[in-house]
Structure 1
């Protein structure tokens, strides 16, 4: 009979067994990384085989760190010398602890196989803050299980492999006869394992090294989004737990020098009196710029039609910005960016420790001008923290699923269907005191990507499940505008239409770090006062200063955007991706990790961002502007100085 190699005494040594268990986990995490890459292949288009091998090599460092964080208590209980640690009951306890804790780690990795396309980042500790206000988590989880059942099978297979591969060998004590030798030896081994644990968490043995963070993954990638291939989800979750969002910056020696770089306190010297126009802002869920035919006239050789026929027709009568970008990656990033000119950098503002800061918004500023203000979102009240932020932003009224008060129009998952909720919104406008400012956040263009039964098959299915939902919401907007166009207040209104964030792209042109933020931006005025195409860069935080300029608002306010109606202004875009700031200005994009510039590209000549110009291009102008914006933003956030005095 062939002898089982597990029976060899040296292979059953307690320390060898621990190393073996750790090795199994490293293999399973490597498999998870490959599965994560496979499921999201289209979102990482420029990864060569050599790049992937570098990513896998770098991933080992982060897997070691993540597993050490996850298994620190297990390892301590395993190695700690005491006389009863080899008893059957204690070993069973350790065994269950090991399996349960590491199954949770595998679950987090598996979750991001399909959750990553929704948020375009690994799941971090902030996910709890994002989801804690949802009262339909059970139904959402069940829906996720139905739609992505195969992920649960993969997770089960990974756990089964963990159980099977670590069931043997059984740890046996190091054969040292005398107790007065055994205990000192065990203590030495405890110190050795502790030293390697510290080194694993820090990334190496150097004294100057700090524990590695997500940004350290940049050493192994060529573009920022690839960072999420290097890291693993347990590491990201643990390393972001309890993190502060903003740190004080001191790039400039004086406030005067800082203000010359960028001054967020704005005041318009406008000769004309203020226009008491009504203001309507529409934030469309997941309406990436790629969905629009009007913004993509060269796609597919000029044959691309998109999925928004109504909005495409409206764009022809509006002032549009074909190079507009979101300032965040998630729905909760959009309200502060669009309505209060606060970009989402590092962590969503609404779930940061500074979310109760006093801010000025379109609502609070127009409230002071006698406007009635309201916010509409068809989800259960409190969803996504929108109700809370609407109050902090100074909205007088909030209308949600509760106020709509007709569950027959509920989509069964997220919110009231867009068509009836927009109809309700239009009816409420007719009752508002004029002038009014009102904003709506749509909901139907969202997972599980359904449309009302009566519209099944009515809209192009496209290449993504989302596309028919985009068509449905576009049609709901058509009906909404038809219902209000003859109202007496309609012609004295300015409409702004944008999206909360982009989504997983289809076309290669959109599979870049830059276009991961690409959204539409449309200013429509029935009186024709705003019309044309402006190809300059634009971003969500530009909406507030641009609107206030159009209205003739003359009081000071704080904004981190640009007035797009002032042609001499140097527009820019700032957002956050892969643990780095992404800053665009003119034809350049630079990446900044908070301490140093790491990459520079001419994105017009090099849209795929392959030729790093760091050290070759003159970026002093852009670096100064970016650092001034960041210092103003962070330091004012910390000092609660976001309102003009």
Structure 2
């Protein structure tokens, strides 16, 4: 269990013999199943992929270079259920309303299909892997760049909120190493507020965020990760959509989280901090539902991305960007808007400076895919096709 921002303190508190044995047993010196070309060729190919377009977009979205940043991660919010991303209507009316008055990106793809992979992609701009997740390896994640750390260096105060347990999927080791000042998780809510299988439902989470922001030092970097739209899709309000099948349950859970988001935003707009705040709303990953998309399908990975809040310049509100891009590109985009360096975020590219050849790379279980304007290609390593 990680508890300190000092890596040595965390390592010293671990069961050293057990970890040494585990490392020895798990070490795999076999051939890399994804080594399809020499490293030199791979490096050159990637450099070509990341070549920017000749004319960069220098658009300034923000009225200030030091806004508060409220980063909301929406569990499993597939673009298939978000009308402003080309999905179904009437499931996410509040997010869609915000998208119309904010800045939206309609062709964003998640880096992976698990929360722990999405978290690293969003906050470190780091791509996911087909057969593992870097978040499992604290000695590696300690060396990743992180938005929290980058903003802390220019005076931001930070707080991370999650209604569940941060130890899930080793997320806490990654977040502690990132340097968040404070954490609020399941154990910090009253027993009566832990009203779902995973912990505190989303409206309870947003209520706590609202309460704390009244005294939160500024500028702040606050991250809130929802959970109610995770299986088993239980919700504390009446269902809007008929049916008891898994798709109907999922659709209702997304509707509930959107309802909780709208409830939160109506009050947030009246707070003194709102006018100087950028709100980032994005999913951790997509979902096979609705439609039961195959594991490798690009439709499963398409997610919403909306920028909103009082810190947006009036003239950019309502703007829509439709070029293909990745979840990993959000980190560099935010830092560029804040006029902060992006060194270290080598897999993250400014969304406002489209690549010469736009693309999005994603991974699923033992496979990967790439989306581009000319189509999608996938490779499943199990059948090797």
TM-score, scaled relative to structure 2: 0.79
Determine whether 1:576 maps to 2:373: no
Give the number of the structure whose residues are more often helix, by fraction. 1
Q: Distance in 2 between matches of 1:414 and 1:430?
A: 27
Which of these residues, 62, 67, 82, is aligned with residue 277 of structure 1? 67
Query: Secondary structure of the equivalent of 1:520?
Result: strand
Aligned partner of 2:258 in structure 1 is 474
CA contact (8 A) 2:278 2:312 kept: no
1:309-320 matched pairs, under 5 angstroms: 309-320=93-104
Aligned partner of 1:560 in structure 2 is 347
Q: Which runs of 5+ in 2 are unaligned?
A: 1-24
**1:353 and 1:429, CA in 2 relative to 1: closer, same or farther beyond 3 A?**
closer
**1:246 and 1:316, CA in 2 relative to 1: closer, same or farther beyond 3 A?**
farther
User: How far is 1:509 from its partner?
Assistant: 8.3
Aligned partner of 2:13 in structure 1 is none
**1:568 and 1:331, CA in 2 relative to 1: closer, same or farther beyond 3 A?**
closer
User: How far is 1:585 from its partner?
Assistant: 2.5
Aligned partner of 1:444 in structure 2 is 228
Determine whether 1:370 maps to 2:155: yes
User: How far is 1:275 from its partner?
Assistant: 0.4
User: How far is 1:351 from its partner?
Assistant: 1.5
1:32-431 matched pairs, under 5 angstroms: 251-253=38-40, 257=44, 260-261=47-48, 275-296=65-86, 304-346=88-130, 347-352=132-137, 355-404=140-189, 406-431=190-215
**1:349 and 1:508, CA in 2 relative to 1: closer, same or farther beyond 3 A?**
closer
Deviates more, 1:550-559 or 1:307-316: 550-559
Which of these residues, 466, 478, 495, is aligned with residue 279 of structure 2? 495
CA contact (8 A) 2:104 2:320 kept: yes
User: How far is 1:342 from its partner?
Assistant: 1.0
Query: Secondary structure of the equivalent of 2:106?
Result: coil
**1:271 and 1:415, CA in 2 relative to 1: closer, same or farther beyond 3 A?**
closer
Q: Distance in 1 between matches of 2:378 and 2:251?
A: 32
**1:319 and 1:541, CA in 2 relative to 1: closer, same or farther beyond 3 A?**
same
CA contact (8 A) 1:274 1:552 kept: no
Query: Secondary structure of the equivalent of 1:307?
Result: coil
1:508-547 deviation per Cα after TM superposition (whole angstroms, max 9, x unaligned): 8899611121211111133443431111112210110111
**1:423 and 1:352, CA in 2 relative to 1: closer, same or farther beyond 3 A?**
same
User: How far is 1:357 from its partner?
Assistant: 3.9
Q: Distance in 1 between matches of 2:30 and 2:145?
A: 20
User: How far is 1:445 from its partner?
Assistant: 1.2
1:397-419 deviation per Cα after TM superposition (whole angstroms, max 9, x unaligned): 21112223x11011241110110
Which of these residues, 533, 544, 548, is aligned with residue 320 of structure 2? 533
Q: Distance in 1 between matches of 2:226 and 2:368?
A: 28
CA contact (8 A) 1:244 1:353 kept: no
Deviates more, 1:577-586 or 1:467-476: 577-586
1:70-124 deviation per Cα after TM superposition (whole angstroms, max 9, x unaligned): xxxxxxxxxxxxxxxxxxxxxxxxxxxxxxxxxxxxxxxxxxxxxxxxxxxxxxx
1:601-620 matched pairs, under 5 angstroms: none
Which of these residues, 364, 372, 378, is aligned with residue 585 of structure 1? 372
Aligned partner of 1:605 in structure 2 is none
Aligned partner of 1:524 in structure 2 is 308
User: How far is 1:335 from its partner?
Assistant: 1.0
Q: Distance in 1 between matches of 2:285 and 2:59?
A: 36
TM-score, scaled relative to structure 1: 0.49
Query: Secondary structure of the equivalent of 1:370?
Result: coil
Q: Distance in 2 between matches of 1:256 and 1:296?
A: 35
**1:416 and 1:560, CA in 2 relative to 1: closer, same or farther beyond 3 A?**
same
1:201-242 deviation per Cα after TM superposition (whole angstroms, max 9, x unaligned): xxxxxxxxxxxxxxxxxxxxxxxxxxxxxxxxxxxxxxx976
Q: Distance in 1 between matches of 2:374 and 2:271?
A: 43
Which of these residues, 335, 348, 368, is aligned with residue 548 of structure 1? 335
CA contact (8 A) 2:323 2:354 kept: no
Q: Distance in 1 between matches of 2:30 and 2:274?
A: 41
Determine whether 1:464 maps to 2:251: no
Determine which structure has more spread, i.e. the larger CA radius of gyration.
1
Paired residues, number = 344
User: How far is 1:340 from its partner?
Assistant: 0.6
**1:475 and 1:377, CA in 2 relative to 1: closer, same or farther beyond 3 A?**
same
Q: Which runs of 5+ in 1 are unaligned?
A: 1-239, 298-303, 599-645
Q: Distance in 1 between matches of 2:65 and 2:265?
A: 22
**1:570 and 1:426, CA in 2 relative to 1: closer, same or farther beyond 3 A?**
farther
Q: Distance in 2 between matches of 1:310 and 1:393?
A: 31
Q: Distance in 2 between matches of 1:538 and 1:246?
A: 31
